[in-house]
């Protein structure tokens, strides 16, 4: 049967999703809903699933904004993918306010230039430049160094790479320019190739570098069987599960596994750098546009549906509204890690692997598995043709 009230669909889905279970290799949860209601419900289900109810301590932490001390990042160059919108733009503004030079990496130069202007209007403490890179096109990623030198100079260094860009739950199976499933192609493979291209710039950092990979608690959707299946099918399982949430979960697990192996190699080689990853929380960002596909954007928060009453109003106020963070609060953890606040500013070491609400927390055993991490690394090299020289 169809769900007729999209707002009720949002609320009920969020309640059910507060009890998360791993996504098996062949799960599908979309069959009984109409396309419009299903996509609306999937949005709420995902947001609620990847953020369990806040404890009092965590709620207090989430309600405050973290900003590095003024001047503390002077002389630090921070490159942020997807810095033209959402969490990336918010991170850029607050890191620039602490004195950092921001390199805005966006899918087009025009988008990057608009973001640079917005950052500079926000603060005059730091600076910003823009560069084009399309993570869905490996040729664009691999040719980035030439464009980057034009904005940071020959021999320039990057001190912090914040891999923030991503797509979420693309409802239809779409491909990147290189033929990869779009969610995994952008969220993991594009960033893997980016690190390979930028490692020489990172290694020029005089005080050590930090790579921050933005993951998500959606990695908990993926059990070991599903991750192994993804690895055995070149990160493109034949069953496009749960309207795109399966691919999203795999991509977020891949972010953590990539970080595990990257940090291991940095330590083994004695390189003055570190790698960390995080869950930003469930945030009101442009990622939502990828949930709705062909549905009009305004339908995600329809204005023609009356607000819920009774139990529905209670659920909205006490579950859905509390689960979703504003962009400024959602950016806290990645700003915290980009500033290396977890190690008192020392970018050469990591205080932990996976962070949520500015605290190190435990990811799933699957996503932290060293053997799976090494398998993913080798497969990523094979698929992208990019090798990270570590």
Residues labelled catalytic:
248
- Give the contacts of 66 (CB within 8 A, at least 6 positions apart): 332, 333, 335, 336, 341, 358
- Give the contacts of 216 (CB within 8 A, at least 6 positions apart): 50, 248, 252, 255, 279, 280
Give start and end residues of each alpha helix (H) in 272-358: 289-292, 311-315, 321-323, 327-330, 332-338
- Of 68, 58, 46, 6, the closest CA to residue 345 belongs to 68
Q: Which two tokens stand for residue 116?
A: 């640079």
What is the CA 278 to chain-centroid distance, rounded? 8
- Of 221, 217, 225, 209, the closest CA to residue 157 belongs to 209
Query: Which helix (H) or strand (E) is 360 found in, with range?
Result: strand 359-361
- CA distances to 130, 138, 208, 316 from 144, rounded to whole Å, are 12, 10, 22, 45
- Give the contacts of 30 (CB within 8 A, at least 6 positions apart): 38, 42, 242, 243
- Give the contacts of 383 (CB within 8 A, at least 6 positions apart): 180, 189, 234, 235
Query: Which helix (H) or strand (E) is 224 found in, with range?
Result: helix 224-232
- Of 250, 206, 218, the closest CA to residue 232 belongs to 250
What is the CA 121 to chain-centroid distance, rounded? 25
Spatial separation of the C-alpha atoms in residues 375 and 276, rounded to whole Å: 19
CA dihedral 366, 371, 373, 379 (to 10 degrees): -120
- Bridge partners of 361, per DSSP, are 354
User: What does the DSSP 8-state code read for residue 240?
Assistant: -
């Amino acid at each position: 049967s169809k769900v007729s009230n999209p707002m009720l669909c949002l609320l009920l889905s969020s309640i059910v999703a507060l009890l998360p279970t791993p996504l098996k290799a062949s799960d599908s949860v979309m069959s009984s809903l109409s396309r419009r209601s299903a996509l609306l419900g999937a949005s709420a289900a995902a947001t609620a699933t990847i953020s369990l109810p806040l404890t009092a301590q965590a709620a207090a932490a989430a309600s405050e904004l973290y900003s590095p001390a003024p001047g503390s990042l002077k002389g630090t160059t921070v490159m942020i993918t997807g810095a033209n919108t959402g969490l990336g733009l918010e991170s850029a503004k607050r890191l620039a306010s602490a004195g950092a030079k921001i390199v805005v990496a966006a899918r087009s130069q025009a988008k990057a230039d608009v973001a640079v202007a917005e950052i500079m209007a926000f603060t005059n403490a730091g600076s910003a430049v823009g560069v084009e890179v399309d993570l869905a096109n490996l040729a664009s990623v691999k040719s980035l160094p030439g464009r980057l030198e034009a904005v940071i100079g020959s021999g320039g260094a990057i001190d912090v790479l914040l891999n923030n860009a991503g797509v979420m739950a693309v409802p239809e199976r779409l491909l990147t320019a290189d033929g990869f499933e779009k969610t995994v192609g952008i969220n993991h493979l594009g960033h893997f190739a980016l690190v390979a291209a930028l490692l020489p710039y990172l290694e020029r950092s005089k005080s050590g570098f930090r790579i921050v990979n933005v993951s998500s608690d959606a990695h908990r959707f993926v059990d070991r069987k599903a991750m192994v299946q993804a690895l055995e099918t070149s990160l493109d399982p034949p069953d496009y599960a749960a309207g795109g949430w399966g691919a999203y979960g795999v991509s977020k697990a891949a972010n953590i596994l990539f970080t595990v192996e990257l940090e291991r190699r940095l330590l083994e080689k004695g390189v003055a750098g570190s790698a960390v990853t995080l869950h930003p929380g469930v945030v009101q960002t442009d990622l939502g546009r990828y949930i709705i596909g062909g549905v009009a954007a305004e339908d995600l928060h329809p204005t023609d549906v009356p607000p819920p009453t009774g139990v529905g109003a209670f659920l909205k106020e006490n579950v859905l509204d509390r689960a979703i963070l504003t962009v400024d609060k959602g950016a806290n953890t990645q700003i915290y890690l980009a500033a290396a606040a977890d190690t008192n500013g020392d970018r050469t070491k990591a205080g932990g692997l996976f962070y949520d609400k500015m605290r190190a927390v435990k990811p799933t055993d699957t996503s932290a598995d060293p053997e799976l991490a090494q398998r993913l690394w080798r497969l990523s090299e094979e698929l992208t043709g990019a090798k990270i020289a570590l």
